Structure 1
């Protein structure tokens, strides 16, 4: 012991008292979240296979507006349905409630980092220890005052917990945007499928009417003895089969109408959408749109925020190994008599500090670190999967649009040829140059090709909306 220590024992004791605190501050660096291995992150392709749009790294955009992308279809009925769904869809309301819950948890986590002040009023009665009297006297003590406590965040445990909850809230915000986008896309796809069915139903009913005209003609010729009864039976079969197809389309339309009712948050019994002409525009997709797909897809942003939160929680779990320091203070009054409680002579106060260091816990803290690490590994895998799904979705819709455009051209040629064949067959049948079976074959071929053309057109609309969803919103909001 040197002279300075002997001459200043108070300073010596102060330095030794601060050693645990300094050691904790030094160890705090060990409690920081581990760095995420870049090799564990998904590999981003240089370009999309279907187009020349290259990948452009940009900041995450989970809070970015998705845009009123449905307006490009120029259909007032669709616009009204999407807006109604945005106000009353139950899935959106659930996602909004989850976001409000996450923000409340963030405020709760931030509150743990602030001083805590509370009031206390109590009364106790018992023996007075240390009085030296036998038996010990019994006394009553009445207290009233304020208690102040504050946990010093030595190793950043509270800060890390707050950061993790903040990332959770950002993830919930992204999921809300994702839910809105999914609902909007579902409304658009269901509505467009319904309008395609309206067009197909009209086509089938027009064809059924043409078959009935053919049946009338065939029955007159049968009565005149020009054709056999077999020809009449064939036409009747075709009329009945076409009527059956029309009823099947009616059933499918009713199901789509009921699905729309659920999407806009209404009971199916109170919702109806009358048939109308299919006048919806088919927008063109501009080149280069997919370049920021990962930044604009809210589900990818949500998965990224969840991964980051799991990484922060690994550091929080590691911080449980290090000392904690809590400061406390209390002030108020204490008196054996209620009438003397608030006298100046009854005042009482106290301050304190408590430092706790874990020594043995049966492996609980180690298990906590392992659990947090497992959660991080799982969220990393989920994030990689979400990125791969995002690129697959874009590639699927781009290839679908390209191939459907080619199929539409080919199908248009098929419809043109089938229509010409029906016209010629009808003329030749009326003049007795071909059999009734030849006419039916031509009519069936025309109906089949026209329905196929409508289905290809419907698929183009579905793929366009699917691409909007895959891109994370409309290209006008980029």
Structure 2
């Protein structure tokens, strides 16, 4: 009686122990603890120059950073490119595909259910083999069946979970790559536009010089007609005029090509695209505050993408380790089968169920090789991450140096232009008064033209250097914009069967098709911009 009373309690204890063991085993994560590299960063930038350090709480660069240049035409072009650029939209679709791949990987955690139905009818030949004369055996047979099956793989060693985590981290990597592509597009468009305006300013200088040289030709011709100057002066004046006209033609060619490049960036055919020229560079002279070096790791999307690749490589080690342990699957099948439609009876029921555990015993070092490869790949991604960080620091230092030096160069070029223009005016006055030869005038004209062109080029490069500096700092992007959490990374729920044609936006990335993207004639700059929600999750594990 006592033994009988203890038997249920012992059974319950064994069941509880078995359940606890299953929970423990199912939560066994074989991936090593992920510890991203911690860099010892400098306290400040070496080539700060005219920049001022920003406090950690400052928003060093705005998301629409190009508005700092104060050019409404550039603002319009940037907005149009962000909506319509085909390369950027292709990157957005790749992000969408990565989310679906993550969903496919996670689906393996659930039981796989299948159902089916079938039917067939068979007629045999009356003269088939072994059917004798006068045989009354059946010549017809029909079969109808309905069945359902289930297969489930308990993730004892977290192989599926680690692959799912890898896929989610891949989504975040794709989001960072999209942000990097978007920043590159913004910077390329801004840089091309600045170069275009610089060519406009050079063209204005050449046109102004051409007018001056035409007047000089007239002066030499008048002096020649009065027999107070040789014909060589006229030839020198004409040579200077024609050479300058050829240079102005070359500048216009460069401007047309740059305009074509901008047209493609904003999704418009070059033949239908035109930007009205201007005579001077009129960008606002604003220098963005310099963020601290420690914040660069949070503001550069390429650094975030490299770190996410390292996290995926860490999880891949856990997947390789799981291959050393038994691979367990459960399966079951049930249904009905009969030679007619009378299936709803247990007599016609069929079923099967089973479990399978496979433990690799000897594979010639296959699993060890795979594990060592994943460890090596992790160290490779760690080295690539460090290289990406160093490249980012170099880009910032290079941009800071260019901005600083070009500011000084612009001031020096201003002084050179003033001196050259004074010299040109004095030599022309002396020549008109007959106190010097025309060769001195040509030398002064060449020096003045070169100085003015050098000034415009330095001013253009200075503005472009500020654009590249903003790009080096991440262009207002933040790691907090990466999609985080189940609801933002996964495009739909496991039991969702509607609204699957277009996944909701996540991580500031929209894949909604804009009808204006198909209009290559006008670009539809006034079309409404689709709403893009931003996810601001701050943790990425």
TM-score grouping bracket, smaller chain normalisation: 0.7 to 0.9
The answer to whether structure 1 residue 191 and structure 2 residue 187 are counterparts is no
Q: 2 CA distance for matches of 1:180 and 1:306?
A: 19
> How many angstroms apart in 2 are the aligned matches of 1:43 and 1:374?
24
Tell me what 1:299 maps to: 302
| Secondary structure of the structure 1 residue equivalent to 2:329 | strand
Change (3 A) 1:367 1:254: same
Q: Deviations over 1:318-370 (max 9, x none)?
A: 211111222222232233x2333333432233432222211123333233223
Among 67, 72, 92, the alignment partner of 1:71 is 67
Aligned alpha-carbon RMSD (Å): 3.4
- The equivalent position to 1:99 in structure 2, one of 92, 95, 99, is 95
* Of 290, 305, 315, the match for 1:312: 315
Matched residue SS, 1:349: strand
The range that moved more, 182-191 or 376-385, is 376-385
- Structure 1 residue aligned with 2:115: 119
Count of matched residue positions in the alignment of Structure 1 and Structure 2: 450
User: Shift of residue 167 of structure 1?
Assistant: 0.5
With normalisation by structure 2, the TM-score equals: 0.76
For 1:254 and 1:263, the matched residues in 2 are separated by 15
Q: CA–CA distance in 2 between the matches of 1:476 and 1:32? A: 28
Separation of aligned partners in 2, 1:366 and 1:477: 36
Aligned to 1:179: 181
Consecutive unaligned residues in structure 2, runs of 5 or more: 123-136, 481-541
Query: TM-score, normalization: structure 1?
Result: 0.85
Q: Given the superposition, is the C-alpha separation of residues 304 and 380 from structure 1 closer, same or farther in structure 2, using an over 3 Å criterion?
A: same
> Whole-Å Cα distance in 2 between the matches of residues 28 and 291 of structure 1?
36
Within the alignment, does 1:326 sit opposite 2:329 as a pair?
Answer: yes
Local SS of the residue matching 2:275: coil
Conserved? CA contact 1:142–1:334, under 8 Å: yes
Aligned partner of residue 44 in structure 2, secondary structure: coil
Judge conservation of contact 2:31–2:314 (CA < 8 Å) in 1.
Answer: no
C-alpha distance after superposition, 1:397-452 (max 9, x if no partner): 11111111111111111111111111211211111112211112112111111111
Q: CA deviation at 1:34?
A: 5.7
Does the C-alpha gap of structure 1 residues 122 and 369 become closer, same or farther in structure 2, counting only changes over 3 Å?
farther
CA contact (8 A) 1:177 1:298 kept: yes
Residues 54 and 289 in structure 2, CA contact (< 8 A), matched pair in contact too? no
Give the unaligned 5+ runs of structure 1. Answer: 127-136
- Please give the residue correspondences for 1:350-389 in structure 2 after superposition, counting only pairs within 5 Å: 350-389=352-391
- Tell me if the contact between 2:62 and 2:475 (Cα under 8 Å) persists in the aligned partners: yes
The C-alpha deviation readout for 1:264-316, integer Å capped at 9, x for no partner, is 12222222212124322222222446552221111110111011111111211
- The match for 1:44 is 41
Q: Separation in 2 of the partners of 1:185 and 1:102?
A: 26
Q: Deviations over 1:193-249 (max 9, x none)?
A: 101110110111110110111011111111221111222211111111101110110
- State the alpha-carbon separation in 2 of the partners of residues 338 and 279 from structure 1: 87
Identify the residue that residue 239 of structure 1 maps to in structure 2: 241
> Secondary structure of 1:145's partner?
strand
**Contact 2:26-2:156 at 8 Å conserved across structures:** no
Deviation at residue 22 of structure 1 after TM alignment = 6.0
Mark the CA change 1:453 to 1:291 in structure 2 (over 3 Å): closer, same or farther.
Answer: farther
Q: Which of 250, 253, 271 in structure 2 is aligned with 1:248?
A: 250
Which deviates more from structure 2 when the two are superposed, residues 113-122 or residues 171-180? 113-122
| Paired residues of 2:337 and 2:349 also in contact (CA < 8 A) | yes
Q: Distance in 2 between matches of 1:409 and 1:392?
A: 26
Q: 1:53 to 1:358 in 2, by over 3 A?
A: farther
Residue range with higher mean Cα deviation, 362-371 or 193-202: 362-371
Distance 1:47 1:370, change over 3 A: same
1:208 aligns with 2:210: yes
The answer to whether the 8 A contact 2:180-2:301 is kept is: yes
Deviation at 1:42, TM superposition (A): 5.3
Shift in CA distance, 91/289, structure 1 to aligned 2, threshold 3 Å: farther
Segment drifting more, 274-283 vs 448-457:
274-283
1:457 equivalent in alignment to 2:453: no
Bigger Cα displacement from structure 2, 190-199 vs 215-224: 215-224
Q: 2:348 & 2:30 partners in 1: Cα distance?
A: 46
Distance 1:306 1:36 in 2: 13
CA distance in 2, matches of 1:44, 1:441: 53
- Contact 2:170–2:312 under 8 Å retained in 1: yes
Partner of 2:502: none
- Work out the CA distance in 2 between the residues paired with 1:84 and 1:159: 41
| CA distance, structure 1, for counterparts of residue 43 and residue 268 of structure 2 | 45
Alignment partners' CA distance in 1, 2:411 and 2:166: 53
Following superposition, the deviation at residue 153 of structure 1 comes to 0.5
Classify the secondary structure of the residue corresponding to 1:355. Answer: strand
Select 2:341's aligned residue among 329, 339, 359.
339
Q: Report the Cα distance in structure 1 between the residues aligned to 2:33 and 2:297, rounded to whole angstroms.
A: 24
Higher helix share: 1
